[in-house]
Every structure is written in structure tokens, then in C-alpha cells.
């Protein structure tokens, strides 16, 4: 039986990574909802979630800042 490919959490800058728009504070709630859904999908331990949240908040790519 073939094993399914293991999905990984999206990293900052990837299209599927949750984003928080600093210009729209109302998007913060949606950002955390999206993160929670990813944590459940990927069975991320609670201890790792805070680090991941802070590493992706405001995750605009360098090219979008120009």
C-alpha cells in the first residue's frame, strides 16, 4: 500500500500561508482562524503553535514592500 505524501505547514511568503493585513485590523481574527485550521490539519503540538504564529504574522514578502 502506498503512503500518502506528508503535507507540511506553509511557510512565510507561500501563497497558502495565512496572512494578516496590517492595514486592515479586522483581518486579524480571520488570520488566527486560518492558523487554527492549519494546526488541526497538521496535528501541530500546542508548544510549537506560538512560535509559528509569531513567525508568520505580517508575512508580506520583500517584493510586496517595494
Tens digits of residue pLDDT in 40-56: 988 888 878 887 777 66
In the chain, where are the structural domains located?
19-55
What's the pLDDT at 53? 72
What's the pLDDT at 65? 41
- In eight-state DSSP terms, residue 5 is P
DSSP SS3 for 42: coil
Residues of the chain with pLDDT under 50: 59-66
Spacing of C-alpha 40 from chain mean position: 12
How many other β-carbons are positioned within 10 Å of the β-carbon of residue 14?
12
CA-to-CA distance for 46 and 5, rounded, in angstroms?
23
What's the pLDDT at 31? 87
Cell digits for 34? 486560518
**pTM check: above 0.75:** no
Amino acid at each position: 500500500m502506498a503512503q500518502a505524501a506528508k503535507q507540511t505547514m506553509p511557510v512565510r511568503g507561500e501563497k497558502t500561508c495565512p496572512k494578516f493585513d496590517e492595514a486592515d485590523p479586522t483581518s486579524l481574527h480571520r488570520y488566527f482562524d486560518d492558523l487554527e485550521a492549519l494546526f488541526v490539519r497538521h496535528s501541530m503540538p500546542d508548544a510549537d503553535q506560538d512560535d509559528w504564529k509569531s513567525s508568520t504574522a505580517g508575512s508580506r514578502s520583500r517584493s510586496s514592500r517595494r
